[in-house]
Amino acid sequence: EVLLRMHSVGICGSDVHYWQHGRIGDFVVKEPMVLGHEASGTVVKVGSGVTHLKPGDRVAIEPGVPREVDDFCKGGRYNLSPTIFFCATPPDNGNLCRFYKHNASYCYKLPDNVTFEEGALIEPLSVGIHACKRGRVTLGSKVFVSGSGPIGLVNVIVAKMMGAAAVVVADLSASRLQKAKEVGADFTIQVKNETPQEMASKVESVLGCMPEITVECTGVQACIQAGIYATRSGGTLVLVGLGPEMVTVPIVNAAVREVDIRGIFRYCNTWPVAIALLASKRINIKPLVTHRFPLEKALEAFETTKRGEGVKVMLKCDPTDQNP
């Protein structure tokens, strides 16, 4: 293990959801819990067995750590391990604090040209990497991204990086669509009150064809339905956003057109890839951060996120006068 002095921690929609509702699906907050799972910091102390890190190293933290080497770990899909530790998922504490202890194997050294903020943004970026891999985005792909929050935006960035020829993004908010344009979306659609079928034909008309891949980042029933109708026969719908447990979808439409529906659960094996992309300046995720607060103003930061202002809110855990 390593002890870290935390630097930057991003606020995620799930953090806000736990704070407001005390649960997400089967994950229920039963006792006080530290939030935060998008984080970077500096190594203060290392355990006796740690060789790849030393005090003073700047690191990005992968929040999901398998507790045992089960079949999922052996197969390289450790994110599916049922006993995995995950920051800020009950009953596991997160890392929105001054000092934090984490498994050293899941702390990744940041090159000098990658900032602490970028290090913290690797967590949401990883969702985009994992989703686009699951959707098999490749050279020349046409992609529809449903939802333009932080996760929709990282999917735009990653899809373009993976060779997508055209990416269209749909959202209710004009300002969020403007952000999508900034990070590389080719087309945007502002959602009004279209039916799912109408939405699908809008996507087709702006792209000039049906997308081979749809990445659904809202979890809203109507959007999932639109995702099925929009995706080209033989294509793939990736479900990233999580909404109600039961959702009514046109499953026969998907079945007879051989539209593959794939889920994602967080990510795995994405931190080294993300760090390489950031260090080589192949991608720019800095525009995602729109608000910054010191740790003392965490409540204000959470309120800002809850109101849906900006894109990514970042907390600064500046520990100038603290000792571990």
Cα Rg of the chain, angstroms: 20
Same domain, yes or no, for 240 and 295?
no
d(CA 117, CA 305): 17
Residues 132, 235 share a domain: yes
Once rounded to an integer, what is the mean pLDDT over residues 212-221? 98
User: Can you tell me the mean pLDDT for 265-271?
Assistant: 98
Helix, strand, coil share (%) of the chain residues, nearest 5: 35, 25, 40
Mean pLDDT calculated for residue range 29-56: 96
With bands split at pLDDT 50, 70 and 90, how would you rate the model's confidence at 310?
A: confident
**C-alpha distance across the termini of the chain, in Å:** 15
Residues 133 and 251 in one domain: yes
Query: What is the domain-level CATH number for residue 152?
Result: 3.40.50.720
* Residue 167 near residue 186, CB atoms below 8 Å: yes
Domain that holds residue 299: 2-109+285-316
Non-local CB neighbours of 307 within 8 Å, separated by 6+ positions: none
What span, in angstroms and rounded, lies between the C-alpha atoms of 121 and 9? 9
| Model confidence pLDDT, tens digit, residues 50-73 | 999 999 999 999 999 999 999 999
Note the pTM of the prediction, 2 decimals: 0.95
Q: Tokens for 23?
A: 């649960």
Q: What is the pLDDT of residue 321?
A: 44
Report pLDDT for 25. 87
pLDDT at 324: 39
Q: Are residues 104 and 29 part of one domain?
A: yes
Assign 271 a pLDDT band (cuts: 50, 70, 90): very high
Query: Would you tell me how many other CB atoms lie within 10 Å of the CB of residue 161?
Result: 16
3-class DSSP assignment, residue 225 = helix
**Nearest alpha-carbon partner for 7 in 85, 74, 96:** 96
pLDDT digits (tens, 9 = 90+) for 97-114: 999 999 999 999 999 999
Instruction: Identify the CATH number of the domain in which residue 311 sits.
Output: 3.90.180.10
Instruction: Share the mean pLDDT of the chain.
Output: 96
